[in-house]
């Protein structure tokens, strides 16, 4: 038996599993390892009542309530000081990378430093925040490896795309996919070498959705503030110089990502051990409200629109783009639908939730087969382009993801279908990450 802090941390809310692990440790003479793991977990989560009870049972030092309150306040200050430092650094680098040009990830519109480097820069800033905030030396190697890979990714991308414009399809594809690759590298650095990596990566996906929601709220608040401020000064007859605006906007954009992550994620905990936030509840409510609407819209697509306008996607690229965007949205909705950490709540609603999710997956698979047929037809009719190559690959990847979800979740038992669905989704996203990496660095070589 390999007894580690991560393994014990996974069982920190399960009394029976923790007792079994302790008895197994005793049989194998790993009492000291168990005590050390309990101590490490208690240092990371001192408020865990079960671990505090185990500390008393093992005669370990247990902090008092006053000490816990003091430590919690100190941890909160450290958490936000680290997040603010990383976000200020990211915002400053956004300003330097934009070089007085519009801060948009579009080749030809933005400076190459910005549109190539913005995604990896955000991921690197979050990695720095996680590394400093985790206080876990064993994870430093993974965070360091992620930072090194992101630096290499930017270098390789710049070698090809530095002087490209939005007329170059491969450069545009790189601008679209490089942030996704950077996000995948960030996820691997957080989940690698942890127990049950598939569940960990799915939890990372959910935390990313919550961070996006938090970032959207911050962005909306920032836009309102800037709009009101500009309106007030305009009434007073004061106009800001364009150079100032092109400094403030990228700086503000650079502040948001790390702060959004800090609002929903505790670097000291594994992804599956994160405390639920209000944003998680909002995400779940929004998803469950959208689920029946999505089923209705998709049913209209599959059973009415496609039979009546079968050749539209074959002849009109815009229709095919809408279908492909719909497939991506379906996958995001499926992931969010089982995102709650309250497994008992999911099981209680399984009577309607499981049929709805499997029906949506089946309809999405049908739409994907149709979209794949359309892009294959266009590929054979009009020949190779980087865009068609990328879209063809994405259709195959999403088809495999939906097929994997159905083939595993459909026959799964009622008590574990959620875990199976989550693990399958995580494995599918890793496949998508591999294809995105090919689009970024493989297609330019063709």
**pLDDT exceeds 90 at position 38:** no
The answer to whether residues 54 and 8 touch, using CB atoms and an 8 Å cutoff, is no
Q: Which of 248, 272, 296 is the last residue of a domain?
A: 272
d(CA 255, CA 218) in angstroms, rounded, equals 10
Q: Do the domain assignments include residue 71? A: no
CA-to-CA distance for 172 and 103, rounded, in angstroms? 15
Q: Whose CA is closest to 175, among 123, 124, 108?
A: 108
Is the same domain home to 257 and 281?
no
Cβ distance 120 to 94 under 8 Å? no
Count of domains for the chain: 3
Please state the pTM of the whole predicted model: 0.85
Q: Do 428 and 301 have their domain in common?
A: yes
| Torsion angle of the four alpha carbons 135, 139, 142, 148, in this order, in degrees rounded to the nearest 10 | 30
| Predicted confidence (pLDDT) per residue in 330-387, tens digit | 999 999 988 875 555 555 566 788 899 999 999 999 999 999 999 999 999 998 899 9
Give CA–CA dist 390/365, Å, rounded.
19
Domain extent, residue 183, equals 79-272
- Whether 441 contacts 181, CB under 8 Å: no
Q: What is the DSSP string of 205-239?
A: HHHHHHHHHHHHHHHHHHHHHHHHHHHHHHHTT--
Could you tell me if residue 367 is inside a domain? Answer: yes
Residue 36 CA, distance from chain mean position? 32
Same domain, 173 and 225: yes
Final residue in a domain of this structure, among 237, 272, 307: 272
- Can you give the pLDDT at residue 1? 42
Let me know the angle formed at the C-alpha of 48 by 21 and 70, rounded to the nearest 5 degrees: 140
**Alpha helices (runs of H) in 11-64, residue ranges in sequence order:** 15-27, 31-44, 49-57
Q: What is the pLDDT of residue 123?
A: 96
**Rounded to the nearest 5°, which phi and psi values hold at 383?**
90, -175
Is 267 in the same domain as 281? no
**Residue 71, pLDDT score:** 67
For residue 110, the 8-state DSSP code is B
Burial (Cβ within 10 Å: 0-12, 13-18, ≥19) of residue 87: buried
Name the residue among 27, 247, 45, 209 with its Cα closest to residue 54.
Answer: 45
Phi-psi region of 193 (alpha: psi -120 to 50; beta: other; left: phi over 0): left
pLDDT in tens, 76-101: 899 999 999 999 999 999 999 998 89
Asked whether residue 253 falls in the same domain as residue 283, the answer is: no
Structure confidence at residue 70 as a pLDDT band (50, 70, 90)? low
* 340 and 346 Cβ atoms separated by less than 8 Å: yes
365 shares a domain with 258? no
């Amino acid at each position: 038996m390999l007894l580690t802090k991560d393994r014990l941390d996974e069982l920190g809310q399960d009394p029976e599993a923790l007792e079994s692990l302790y008895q197994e440790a005793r049989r194998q003479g790993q009492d000291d390892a168990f005590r050390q793991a309990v101590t490490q977990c208690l240092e990371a989560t001192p408020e865990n009542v079960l671990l505090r009870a185990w500390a008393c049972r093992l005669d370990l030092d247990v902090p008092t309530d006053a000490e816990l309150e003091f430590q919690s306040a100190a941890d909160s200050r450290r958490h936000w000081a680290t997040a603010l430092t990383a976000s200020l650094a990211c915002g400053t680098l956004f300003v330097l990378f934009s070089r007085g040009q519009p801060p948009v990830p579009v080749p030809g519109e933005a400076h190459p430093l910005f549109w190539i480097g913005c995604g990896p820069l955000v991921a690197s800033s979050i990695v720095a925040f996680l590394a400093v905030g985790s206080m876990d030396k064993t994870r430093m190697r993974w965070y360091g490896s992620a930072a090194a890979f992101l630096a290499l990714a930017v270098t390789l991308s710049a070698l090809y795309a530095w002087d490209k414009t939005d007329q170059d399809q491969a450069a545009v594809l790189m601008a679209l996919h490089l942030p996704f690759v950077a996000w995948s590298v960030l996820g691997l650095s957080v989940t690698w070498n942890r127990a049950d990596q598939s569940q960990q990566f799915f939890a990372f996906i959910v935390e990313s959705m919550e961070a996006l929601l938090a970032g959207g709220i911050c962005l909306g608040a920032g836009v309102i503030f800037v709009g009101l401020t500009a309106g007030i000064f305009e009434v007073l007859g004061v106009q800001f110089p364009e150079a100032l605006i092109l400094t403030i906007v990228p700086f503000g954009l650079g502040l948001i990502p790390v702060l959004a992550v800090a609002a929903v994620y505790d670097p000291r905990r594994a992804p599956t051990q994160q405390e639920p936030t209000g944003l998680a509840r909002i995400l779940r409510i929004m998803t469950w409200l959208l689920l029946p609407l999505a089923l209705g819209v998709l049913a209209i697509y599959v059973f009415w629109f496609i039979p009546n306008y079968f050749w539209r996607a074959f002849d009109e690229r815009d229709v095919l783009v809408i279908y492909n965007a719909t497939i991506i949205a379906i996958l995001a909705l499926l992931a969010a639908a089982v995102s709650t950490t309250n497994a008992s709540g999911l099981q209680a609603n399984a009577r309607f939730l499981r049929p709805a999710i499997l029906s949506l997956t089946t309809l999405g698979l049908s739409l994907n087969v149709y979209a794949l047929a359309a892009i294959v037809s266009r590929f054979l009719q009009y020949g190779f382009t980087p865009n068609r190559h990328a879209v063809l690959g994405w259709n195959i990847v999403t088809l495999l993801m939906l097929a994997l979800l159905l083939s595993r979740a459909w026959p799964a038992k009622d008590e574990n279908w959620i875990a199976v669905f989550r693990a399958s989704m995580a494995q599918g996203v890793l496949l998508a990450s591999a294809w995105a990496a090919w689009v970024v660095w493989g297609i330019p070589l063709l």
